[in-house]
Chains A and B, each alone.
Chain A
Amino acid sequence: MLDFDWQFFLEVLIGGLLSGVMYSLVALGFVLVYKTSGVLNFAQGAMLLFAALTFVSLVEKGIPFALALAITFGVMVAIGIAIERVVLRPLTNRPPMTLFMATLGLSYILEGAAQLIWGTQVHGLDLGIDDIPFEVGGVLISQFDLFAASVAAVLVLLLSIFFRYTRIGLAFRAVADDQFAALAVGLRLPWIWATVWAVAGLVALVAGLLWGARLGVQFSLSLVVLKALPVLVLGGFDSIPGAIVGGLLIGATEKLAEVYIGEYFGGGIESWFAYVVALAFLLIRPSGIFGQKLVERV
C-alpha cells in the first residue's frame, strides 16, 4: 500500500457518491409513500419504468419534450389516483404486509401494461447532456452524474419546502404522524393518499428519465428498485435525509468494494454487496441511520 493511488481512490469515491445519488432518487419515492401510508411500495420501480417508457414513446412519436413531460406526469397522476381508488381503499386497515404484497401485484400489472402498450424493445433516451467526463484537480468527473446529482438536490429541496411550508405538506406530515388523529381532525385520507402516490409518480418520472438516459429505457429499469431497497434499509424507510445519506453510503462503498476487493471474489459483486453493507449496519442499528420508529425492532 506504499504507492496507494489517492487520485484514483478519489475518482472512484466521487463516482460512487454520484451514482449513489441516483439510488437516492429512487429511494425517495419509497420514502414518500412509506411516510404517509406505511406501505413499502414495491411498485415504485414499475412506476419508474412506466413513466420513462411512456415519455420516450411519446417523444419518439414526435411530441415536443415539454408536452411529453406534461402528458406523462398527467398519466402518473391518473395512475396514482387509480391505485388509491382500486387497491388502497379496499385494503384500508389491513396489515402493512398485505399492502406490500398488493404493491408486488401492482408492480406486475404496471410492468406488463407498460410493455404491452409500448413494446419491449430498448429505447435510447437523450436528455441533451453529454456523458463526457471532465477534470477537476486531476480527478475525472462525469458531467451526466453531476447533472443527475443536482436534479436530485433540487427535487429534495422542493419536496422539503413542500412538506414544510404548504397546507398539503402539513396534512402529509399529520397523516405520517398519526393516521387516526389525522382522520379525527377531518383530513381526508383517500385524497391525501392519492396525492402522495401522484407525487411518488413525479419522483418516479424524474428518476426514470435519469436512469433511462443512463441505461436505456427497457424492462431492466424496473429492477433499480432492488438497488434502492438496501438504501432504504440503511437510511430508514421513513426518512428523506436517510434516503440521501444511505444512497451516498451505498453508492460509495459499492464502487470502492468493486474496485478494491471485487477481484478477490471474481467480480460482479455489486448485485449483493449493497445488501451485505445494509445488513451489517442493521445489526448495529436496527432502525437505520435516521429511522425513527423502533416499533418493528425485536
Chain B
Amino acid sequence: MTIATLEAIPTSYTPRWLTPVLLLGIAYLIIPLVGTSYLFEAILLPFLALSLAGVGLNILTGYAGQVSLGSAAFLAVGAFAAYNFNLRIDGLPILGSIFLSGVVAAAIGIVFGLPSLRLRGFYLAVSTLAAQFFVQWALTKFSWFSNNSASGVIDAPPLSIAGVEFNSAVGRYLFSLTIVAVLTFLAYRLVLSQTGRNFIAVRDNETAARIIGVPVLKTKLIAFGVSSFVIGIAGVLWAFAYLRTVEPAGFNLDRSFQILFIIIIGGLASIRGAFFGAALLVVTPLILSRVGSFLLGDFFDSGVLDMSQRIVLGGLIILFLILEPDGLVSFWDRIRKRTTTRLLRQ
C-alpha cells in the first residue's frame, strides 16, 4: 500500500458529527448515573468552565492571532455582571442574566481591544495586562459590584430554569454542560464562517488580509468581543456552578496564564484543543498531589505541592512548545491515525 492511500483512509468513514454526538450522549446519559460527587465537584465542573474559557481565548489568540494576557479579567467581569443582573433586576431568569453578562464582558473586551488597532505582538500582549489589573482593582475597590460584601466576595444565586432546580452537583454539571455544548457549537460554526476566515487571514498576514478586502480593524474588534463574550460566560459558570463563592482576587494573573496555557497545551486554533488542555490542567494537579503524598509522605505539604505544581506546569509548557507545538490535539490525531491504519491493515 502506498503512503498516499494510507493517509486517505482514516477519518473519512466516520461522519463529522458522530464523535461530538457520542461524547455528548455519554456526558448526558452515562456520567450523571455513574459519577461520584468528587468527580463533579473537583474535576468536571472546573473542567467545563475552563474549557469554555479556553474556547473563548482560542478564538482571539488561536484564530485571530491577538495574544491576550487578561482573560481572567473577563472571567471576573462575567461572574460579577451576572451576579448583579440577577440581584438587581427582579424576575430576570438566570439564563437572561448569564446572556447579559456575556454582553457586558464583550463590551468591555472591545474597549480593551482598542489598542490592538495600533499595536501588535508583544506591545499588544502587554497592553492586555491593563484589563487584568484595572478590572481586578475596580471590583475590589467599588463594593457596589459585590453588593457591599467584605473584600468583594459574592455568593452564587440558586440555579433554576422554569422551576427546575440545578443546585445539586449533578444539576450544576448538567447546567454547565448544556451551556458549554451550545456555545462550543456556536464557536465552531463561527470559525468556519466568513468571520472565522477573516480571523485567520488577519492572524497570518495582516497586510495581505487588508489587500484582499478583509476589514482588519473590524475583524480584530469582533474577535475581542466574541472571545470576551465566551470567556465572560465561562466566568459565570466558574463562579455560579463550580465555586459558588468567588472574590476578585481569585481572578488574578495566574488564572489568565492558566487559560493561556490551556490553549497552548491543547492546541492553538482548535476548538477541541481547549477541552484537551483544560482536561490536562485540571487533572495534573490532582494526580500530582496523590503521587506526591504517596511517594514523599509528610514532607509533601500544601506548600511543596504548590511549588511542584508550578514547576510541572512550567515544564509542561516548555515541553509542549518544543515537542508538540500544535498541542495535544495533533498528538491525539496522530495516535488515532496510526491506530486506525493499523486496524484497517489487519
Q: Which of A55-63, A87-95, A136-144, A194-202 forms contacts with chain B?
A: A87-95
User: Bound state CA distance, A265 and B142, in angstroms?
Assistant: 9
Q: Are the CB atoms of B311 and A286 closer together than 8 Å? A: no
User: Bound state CA distance, A155 and B310, in angstroms?
Assistant: 32
Shortest beta-carbon distance from B76 to chain A in Å:
14
Is B134's beta carbon under 8 Å from chain A?
A: yes
Q: Are the CB atoms of A298 and B129 closer together than 8 Å? A: no
Chief secondary structure at chain A's binding surface: helix
Shortest beta-carbon distance from B338 to chain A in Å:
24
Q: Are the CB atoms of B260 and A104 closer together than 8 Å? A: yes
Is B253's beta carbon under 8 Å from chain A?
A: yes
Q: Are the CB atoms of A109 and B133 closer together than 8 Å? A: no
Shortest beta-carbon distance from A296 to chain B in Å:
5
Is A218's beta carbon under 8 Å from chain B?
A: no
Shortest beta-carbon distance from A122 to chain B in Å:
14
CB under 8 Å from chain A, chain B span 100-130: 115, 117-123, 125-127, 129-130
Q: B123 — nearest CB in chain A belongs to which residue?
A: A233
Q: Which of B16-24, B85-93, B145-153, B313-321 forms contacts with chain A?
A: B313-321
User: Bound state CA distance, A153 and B106, in angstroms?
Assistant: 45
Is A166's beta carbon under 8 Å from chain B?
A: no
Which residues on A are within 8 Å of B, measured CB to CB?
40, 86-87, 90-91, 94, 96-98, 100-102, 104-113, 115-116, 120, 226, 229-230, 232-233, 237, 265-269, 271-272, 275-276, 278-279, 282-283, 286, 296-298
| Chain B positions 299 through 321: 1 when the CB is less than 8 Å from some CB of chain A, otherwise 0 | 00001100111110111111001
9 pairs, CB–CB < 8 Å, chain A vs chain B: A101-B321, A105-B316, A108-B313, A109-B310, A233-B123, A276-B134, A286-B123, A296-B121, A297-B119
Given A109-B310, A112-B311, A100 contacting B125 (CB threshold 8 A): yes
Q: Which of B127, B264, B313 contacts A279 (CB 8 A)?
A: B127
Q: Are the CB atoms of B122 and A271 closer together than 8 Å? A: no
6 nearest A-B residue pairs (beta carbon): A108-B314, A105-B317, A112-B310, A109-B314, A275-B130, A112-B311
